[in-house]
């Protein structure tokens, strides 16, 4: 068995790679590591709408109960709801059963700590080590020491909905929305929140059947949302992914707003209100040049991290930055919550739009998005850390940057799972950067494969 934890928990095809046996062992090891010594740990468990969710929920629950932990099952709710409710119920940990934007046959398990943050690498390693070494952590837990499945004394969905509404101080009366729930975890709570704030809402893909999550819908497939926004003459469209921790928006003209554009619009609102701490925004190396220029135009600056929302969060915790995220729509509002939250991000975006008095298309025009081209170059694994040291590669990159004359950039980063590097070029002329990207990928493959 190879490494279990990836960048976002343990994932795989349900009942093949991610089996009930593995979920049971994760429950036992997680309860052992995350429980406070001498106390019975309490773990919140939430899931998305995949057919395998019930199986994995029962299996991981059994593992936690076998270690003497208690579980509170909150049912189908977004990933960020679990992060919030862990704090609300003063639980020791949270578990989310979801594979985010992946097809329904996949599933995943990830943990949150008692503060609602994803686990540090060291804690994941400790849990993983127990499983891979097949360590017996069952320390004579029988009889009255076994855990129980508890009933929450308050409705989890209502608690989360009230929390979300409390993150904005404007109502949505007069706004016409179309929302795409991806047949996923947001299918109940999203519509409720927007309607209770006064918006007129048309809902797409909110009839999950266990198999249709993310199926040609949601944040990775916004085409039907775009068409619906135009058809309904809506002010904006909002698309979530399967576990509703990310958001992609569509303006009133049917044009997509990605994470860079939404972060800029919200950062401008925060800066105007004096709430953008140290005039700082956090983004990854993949953030667009146009995004950086737009942030600078409002008197702020960008802190850049590796690709991945966990790296964005790590940086934000160090700097105190209150907003950060990725192009994919993972946006963290650290003054409100501990993880990406698609519905919360949508509410902040709607507040920014309403306060500005402008249409979404007008706000998005304030940021010029430069074309980006991504190509893969196959290389040997031993070169994944030293590709920039090769003289031919280094020289070619310098030559390309001169050709673009300061109006573009070259970014190369290794794949975390495959023997290749990803070559990204960004610039004003898409034909030019496409040719340059292809040439560079070919050169890297020639010398390093």
- Do domains 10-156 and 171-364 share one topology? The answer is yes
Q: Where are the domains of the chain?
A: 10-156, 171-364, 372-448
Domain 372-448 class?
alpha beta
CB atoms within 10 A of CB 191: 18
CATH assignment of 10-156? Answer: 3.40.120.10
Enzyme catalytic residues: 100
Look up tokens 């992946």; give the residue: 102
- pLDDT tens-place values along the chain, 449 residues long: 457 887 778 899 999 999 999 999 999 999 999 876 668 899 999 999 999 999 999 999 999 999 999 999 999 999 999 999 999 999 999 999 999 999 999 999 999 999 999 988 899 999 999 998 888 887 678 899 899 999 888 999 999 999 999 999 999 999 999 999 999 999 999 999 999 999 999 999 999 999 999 999 999 999 999 999 999 999 999 999 999 999 999 999 999 999 999 999 999 999 999 999 999 999 999 999 999 999 999 999 999 999 888 899 999 999 999 999 999 999 999 999 999 999 999 999 999 999 999 999 999 999 999 999 999 998 888 887 788 888 998 899 999 988 888 788 998 888 766 788 899 999 989 999 999 999 999 999 998 88
Contacts of 28 by beta carbon, 8 Å cutoff, 6+ apart = 63, 64, 66, 67, 137, 138
**What's this model's pTM, rounded to 2 decimal places?**
0.91
Contacts of 72 by beta carbon, 8 Å cutoff, 6+ apart = 42, 43, 44, 45, 89, 91, 149, 150, 151, 152
Q: Is the separation of the CB atoms in 238 and 249 below 8 Å?
A: yes
Domain 171-364 class?
alpha beta
Q: Please, where are the H alpha helices in 142-279?
A: 156-165, 189-196, 223-232, 259-272
Burial category of 265 from C-beta neighbours within 10 Å (exposed 0-12, middle 13-18, buried 19 and up):
buried
Q: Is the separation of the CB atoms in 244 and 342 below 8 Å?
A: yes
First to last CA, the chain: 28
Q: Is the separation of the CB atoms in 375 and 423 below 8 Å?
A: yes
Both tokens of 57, joined, read 């929920």
């Amino acid at each position: 068995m190879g490494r279990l934890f990836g960048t976002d928990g343990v994932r795989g095809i349900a009942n093949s790679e991610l089996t009930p046996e593995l979920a049971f062992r994760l429950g036992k090891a997680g309860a052992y590591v995350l429980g406070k010594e001498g106390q019975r740990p309490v773990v919140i468990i939430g899931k998305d709408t995949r057919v395998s969710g019930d199986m994995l929920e029962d299996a991981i629950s059994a593992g936690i109960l076998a270690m003497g932990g208690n579980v509170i099952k909150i049912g189908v709710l977004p990933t960020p709801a679990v992060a919030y409710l862990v704090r609300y119920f003063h639980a020791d940990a949270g578990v989310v059963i979801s594979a985010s934007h992946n097809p329904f046959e996949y599933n995943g398990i990830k943990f949150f700590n008692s503060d609602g943050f994803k686990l540090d690498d060291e804690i994941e390693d400790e849990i993983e080590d127990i499983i891979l070494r097949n360590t017996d952590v069952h320390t004579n837990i029988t009889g009255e020491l076994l855990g129980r499945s508890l009933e929450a004394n308050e409705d989890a969905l209502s608690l989360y909905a009230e929390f979300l509404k409390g993150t904005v101080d404007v109502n949505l009366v007069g706004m016409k929305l179309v929302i795409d729930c991806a047949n996923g975890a947001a299918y109940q709570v999203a519509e409720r929140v927007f309607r209770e704030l006064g918006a007129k809402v048309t809902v797409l893909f909110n009839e999950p059947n266990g198999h249709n999550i993310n199926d040609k819908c949601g944040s990775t497939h916004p085409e039907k949302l775009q068409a619906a926004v135009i058809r309904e003459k809506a002010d904006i469209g909002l698309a979530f992914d399967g576990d509703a921790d990310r958001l992609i928006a569509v303006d009133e003209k049917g044009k997509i707003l990605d994470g860079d554009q939404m972060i800029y619009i919200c950062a401008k609102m925060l800066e105007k209100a004096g709430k953008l701490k140290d005039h700082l925004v956090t983004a990854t190396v993949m953030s667009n040049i146009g995004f950086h220029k737009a942030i600078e135009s409002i008197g702020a600056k960008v802190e850049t991290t590796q690709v991945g929302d966990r790296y964005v969060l790590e940086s934000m915790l160090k700097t105190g930055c209150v907003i950060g995220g990725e192009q994919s729509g993972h946006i963290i509002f650290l003054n409100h919550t501990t993880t990406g939250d698609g519905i919360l991000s949508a509410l902040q975006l709607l507040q920014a739009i309403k306060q500005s008095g402008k249409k979404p298309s007008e706000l998005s025009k304030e940021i010029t998005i430069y074309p980006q081209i991504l190509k893969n170059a196959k290389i040997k694994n031993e070169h994944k850390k030293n590709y920039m040291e090769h003289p031919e590669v280094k020289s070619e990159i310098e030559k390309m940057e001169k050709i673009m004359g300061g109006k573009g950039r070259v970014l190369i980063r290794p794949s975390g799972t495959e023997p290749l590097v990803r070559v990204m070029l960004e610039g004003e002329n898409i034909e030019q950067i496409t040719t340059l990207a292809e040439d560079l990928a070919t050169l890297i493959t020639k010398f390093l494969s």
